Amino acid sequence: MDDTSRTYDVVVIGAGPVGENVADRTKAAGLSTVIVESELLGGECSYYACEPSKALLRPVLARADARRVPGLRKAVAGPLDVPAVLAHRDDIVFHWQDDGQVEWLNSVAVDIVRGHGRLDGPRQVVVTTPDGGTVRLTARHVVAVCTGTRAALPDLPGLDGVRVWTSREATSSSAVPGRLVVVGGGVVAVEMATAWRALGSEVTQLVRGSGLLAGREPFAGELVAEGLREAGVDVRFGASVTSVAREDGPDGEARITLADGDQLVADEILFATGRAPRTDDIGLETIGLTPGDWLRADGTCRVTAVEDGWLYAVGDVNHRVLMTHQGKYQARIAGAVIGARVHGEPLDDGKWGAHVTTADSEAVPQVVFTDPEVAFVGLTAQEAERAGRRIQVVDNDFQSVAGAAQYAEGFRGQARMVVDLDRGTVIGVTFVGPGIGELLQSATIAVVSEVPVERLWHAVPAFPTISEVWLRLMEAYRG
């Protein structure tokens, strides 16, 4: 048993990608840093979310693309090699071992304490180690909470006594369920419906609302729904689950009852209905905050409700943007801010600009790995109008893009550019279609850099690539 006390400049709770990046940056700033983790170093993204889900989806999308290329259809007409796909997924997540992450943290001289960390008053963290010991950590300057989120399950009759899938089980299952019911219409729901249908499951997707990917451009959800149905997914809108049960024990058939009285039977049920912060048992009550709440933070990721500025909340836990790449971005900003503040340096160092997380409110990029893919950044047309912007919406359906025809016969997709007419800049872009995820960075640069549309006219896309859609959007804008 380990019963010790240690003091560091910075204590980081949570060793996912966000916590690792905070620790890396504070250590690089010359601050002694320790990171606390109760599970695997590398976090949710590395083992149960982004990495394994994309490992499952990559062969699905590659096969779909190949089936659209003349000369390849017959070669990829058969089913996926399921054992090979699952084995590749296991390799991608290092078989749920974190030795590599341990080596990396050691290489940057960040100490690791394994166990459950809880705040115990200002700048104090008490860690209960796996062997029952206790390690008390004191932070001279900062405690950074990087504990992320967990799946939020709805309050449904019977759910507590029923074994269900969340995103963790959906990305780590070693077997293909014969019948899978997916509850939800967001990113996790559509991606997992795509993956498991292609791997052999009969998939029914239950969406409470009237469309998929709510909050995005409506055509994105419409095209994804069309793709799912063509793949054999039974997509049902306006479907609310009222109760769930399993017959004959935890491994028996699952029965789902809907608000209209209809019942479904499945082998597994995936609830992809939202996320909740992992703050219910990290000692928030010892510093006057409410357990289970999101930790609201300012643009430097410093928690606004805590005096003296010693507590930071970085990544999903602050509820600014729930995506790994945005959390890592926040971590880079927060690490630089902490170093500057401790050393009494100006936050605007003249090289990278002010250390404020502007990108998580103005230009958030995301790719949805479905067939077709969806990629977007910035504001939708509706969001821009609600914000009082005077805009022009420019659409293109890829029919006139030679690169799209080369990429896939019968390429179906749509692009939308939202232009702020008063500023003359692009403030939002959405692409839907096969293989369009790699277009997103060009759109992100255009939005973040506030490049005048008249200058974008001179950013000539290579022919024949899908990126020529930019030329078609510029032409439509100029009229």
Confidence check: pLDDT of 198 > 60: yes
User: Which pLDDT band, with edges at 50, 70 and 90, does 250 fall under?
Assistant: confident
355 and 386: one domain?
no
Please state the three-class secondary structure of 317-371 as a single string: HHCCCCCHHHHHHHHHHHHHHHHHHHHCCCCCCCCCCCCCCCHHHHCCCEEECCC
- Tell me if 245 is assigned to some domain: yes
349 and 406: one domain?
no
Point out the domain boundary residue: 250, 273, 296: 273
- Burial label, 188 (beta-carbon count in 10 A; 0-12, 13-18, 19+): buried
145 and 284: one domain?
yes
- The residue behind tokens 């039974």 is 234
- Tell me if 72 is assigned to some domain: no
Considering only residues 252 and 1, tell me which one the structure prediction assigns the higher pLDDT.
252
- 374-403 pLDDT, tens digit per residue, is 999 999 999 999 999 999 999 999 988 999
304 and 316: one domain?
yes
Would you give the DSSP letter of residue 69? S
Q: Residue 406's domain is classified under what CATH number?
A: 3.30.390.30
Report the percent of the chain where pLDDT is more than 90. 92
298 and 410: one domain?
no
Mean pLDDT of all residues in the chain? 95
pTM over 0.85: yes
Confidence check: pLDDT of 1 > 80: no
- Tell me if 19 is assigned to some domain: yes
- Give residue 349's domain range: 3-42+98-150+277-359
173 and 225: one domain?
yes
Nearest alpha carbon to residue 145 among 40, 36, 43: 36
Range with lowest mean pLDDT among 128-142, 167-181, 282-296, 338-352: 338-352
Q: Residue 127's domain is classified under what CATH number?
A: 3.50.50.60
Note the pLDDT of residue 358: 78
- 421-469 pLDDT, tens digit per residue, is 999 999 999 999 999 999 999 999 999 999 999 999 999 999 999 999 9
Question: Span 308-330, mean pLDDT?
Answer: 96
- Tell me if 55 is assigned to some domain: no
Residues 6+ apart with CB under 8 A from 433: 372, 373, 398, 404, 411, 412, 413, 414, 415, 466
Point out the domain boundary residue: 215, 246, 273: 273
Confidence check: pLDDT of 349 > 60: no
Q: How many domains does the chain have?
A: 3
Note the pLDDT of residue 351: 52
- 23-52 pLDDT, tens digit per residue, is 999 999 999 999 999 999 999 999 999 999
